[in-house]
Structure 1
Amino acid sequence: MAMVDAGYCLWMARYNAWQNRQLRAIFADMSAAELAQERGAFFGSLLGTANHVLWADRMWMSRLVGGPAPGGGISDSPRFTDSARDWDIARFRADADILLWAERLRSVELTGMLSWHSGALGRRVEKPRALCVVHMFNHQTHHRGQIHAMLTAAGRAAPVTDLAFMPEDGPSL
């Protein structure tokens, strides 16, 4: 995984914050009913899917840097926050934590193995640390793609998601 270095992590942390900043603005313009509406996605609704991504980011950051893991398991993750406002606040904080981690990260910290108990698999797992970081960012992008599709199907404007079009004026929450 030599291609993964601290610079990659900072790019992806910036991308994550940019994407979530756009979603926070879109969600602020939607009703609670629209956000909670079942849309046939794996995690049900827009808010359920956004909550799952937030929960998973908190889980991965707890594994990567320590600190408390979020409560519950994957099946509980769609209910990680109770409202769009709660999600907005928690997402803002999570993005700030991810950005701060990436800004301070040294490439050498991406070497070696990461070991954790996987609730999804019900056993101990050990994988290269760099692979786990790539997975965290890929997971965010995957589920935001589902959110994008749900917004489009609902007749809402979806955020710009192309990495090549990310503003270059630095990380902004």
Structure 2
Amino acid sequence: MADYNRWMNERLYDAAATLPEAALFEDRGAFFGSLFATLGHIVAADLIWLNRFVQLPALAELRGPLSALPAPTGLRDRVADSLPMLRERRVQTDVVICDMVRRLEPVHFDEVVRYGNTAGASQAKRFGPLLQHFFNHQTHHRGQASTLLFQAGVDVGVTDLNALIPHEA
């Protein structure tokens, strides 16, 4: 899922880069309004979750690389002011995500992550289902972003995870 995440993000940002800047910020009636805000939400949410995940001892070494990135506290927090800056944040975040999954062992999925959600409520949940939510959330909002791009006249092309599954002879 981390590789699919990175691959799809590259495709979305390549497609978004073909639009004029005004089109990126145009309110298109989506949940977050514009394509830029939708892409920014995905980065902000990823950073919020990653900052929670690195509290697990197995992921503690990622705190350093993560500390170089913004630490949003809200799902609408803006983490960049331009598409090139947002893309750089996206790339850096994807590096941390890929590094995270390489460190994981099956035993880690049953560990409990304790955190306060964005509304301030205390939470204690198993890491495995949270990680599933993390990747599902990205996929959900990338679907919205690809729709916004299509509505703006840009076809992202193949978006299926199946495209990355190697063919077996």
Q: If the TM-score is normalised by the length of the shorter chain, which range does it land in?
A: 0.7 to 0.9
| 2:164 match | 166
In 2, the alpha carbon distance for the partners of 1:27 and 1:98 equals 22
**Per-residue deviation, 1:159:** 3.9
Counterpart check, 1:31 vs 2:20: yes
Secondary structure of 2:76's match? helix
- Deviation per CA, 1:47-100, whole angstroms, max 9, x where unpaired? 100000001111111111143571341233xx2210001011110100111011
Q: Pick from 144, 155, 158 the counterpart of residue 157 of structure 1.
A: 155
Instruction: Quote the RMSD (CA, aligned, Å).
Output: 1.5
| 1:4 match | none
CA contact (8 A) 1:148 1:159 kept: no
Aligned residue-pair number: 154
More deviation in 96-105 or 82-91? 96-105
Runs of 4+ displaced beyond 3 Å: 66-69
Q: Is there any run of 5+ residues in structure 2 with no aligned partner, and where?
A: 56-62
CA contact (8 A) 2:24 2:35 kept: yes
In 1, the alpha carbon distance for the partners of 2:89 and 2:76 equals 19
Q: How does 1:132-147 map to 2 (within 5 A)?
A: 132-147=130-145
Letter in 2 for 1:100: D
In 2, the alpha carbon distance for the partners of 1:48 and 1:30 equals 15
Counterpart check, 1:52 vs 2:51: no
More relative contact order, 1 or 2 (CA 8 Å, 6+ apart): 1
Letter in 2 for 1:75: R
Q: Is there any run of 5+ residues in structure 1 with no aligned partner, and where?
A: 1-11, 169-173
In 2, the alpha carbon distance for the partners of 1:110 and 1:31 equals 43
| 2:75 match | 74
Letter in 2 for 1:71: P
CA contact (8 A) 1:19 1:159 kept: no
| 2:123 match | 125
TM-score scaled to structure 1, two decimals? 0.83
